[in-house]
Amino acid sequence: MVIGMNFGGVLLAVKDMTKAKQFYVEVMEQKIEMDLDNIHVAFESGFSLQADYQGLLGVPLNPKEQSDNFQLYFEVEDLDKWEDKLSKVEEIDFLHYSKEYPWGQRVLRFYDYDKFIVEVAESMASVAKRYLAQGMTVEETAEKTMFPVEFVEGLV
């Protein structure tokens, strides 16, 4: 018997809601969908911030700072502009600046103010478009990016 379940999003337990909200709104350009009195903030992109998470649960927790086993993933069309913008934010601790993976996608990673890993990456559509603009064929682009030929053809 299938009873059904839908994924509702990701919730980050934050220490300082004001600072976390400012970071995701002003730096990461996320739009707030709902702000419940600075206790819970939901973003249109599907993730949320929660202050006083232990109080919400009502059970003792042993929070870890910088557990390095979770990341938020954002896609952009112009990674260079984002790298320039993010590198000017003093409190950002970069794990690495832009690097390119074998499939052609360039990414950068850093810690947010609560030490959650944040990845900002080129969308794969922009990667494929870059290869096509450099003269690669649809087939070569599909092979390099590991995407189906039909996906790449849809970008032409």
The residues of the chain scoring below 70 in pLDDT are: none
Q: What is the pLDDT of residue 66?
A: 80
Q: Would you say residue 13 lies in a domain?
A: yes
Q: Would you say residue 65 lies in a domain?
A: no
Q: What is the pLDDT of residue 110?
A: 97
Q: Would you say residue 117 lies in a domain?
A: no
Beta carbons of 12 and 114 less than 8 angstroms apart:
yes
Q: What is the pLDDT of residue 55?
A: 79
Which residues does residue 36 pair with via DSSP β-bridges, in sequence order?
A: 40
Q: Would you say residue 52 lies in a domain?
A: yes
Q: Which residue has the tokens 């990673």?
A: 109
pTM of the shown model: 0.87
Q: Would you say residue 45 lies in a domain?
A: yes
Q: Would you say residue 20 lies in a domain?
A: yes
Q: Determine which helix (DSSP H) or strand (DSSP E) holds 35, and give its type and residue range.
A: strand 32-36
Q: Which domain holds residue 15?
A: 8-56
**How many domains does the chain fold into?**
1
What CATH number is given to the structural domain containing 41? 3.10.180.10
Q: What is the pLDDT of residue 145?
A: 95
Q: Would you say residue 153 lies in a domain?
A: no
> pLDDT tens digits for 70-104?
899 999 999 999 999 999 999 899 999 999 999 99
Q: How far, CA to CA in Å, does 131 sit from each of 37, 43, 97, 138, 139?
A: 46, 33, 21, 9, 11
Q: Would you say residue 39 lies in a domain?
A: yes
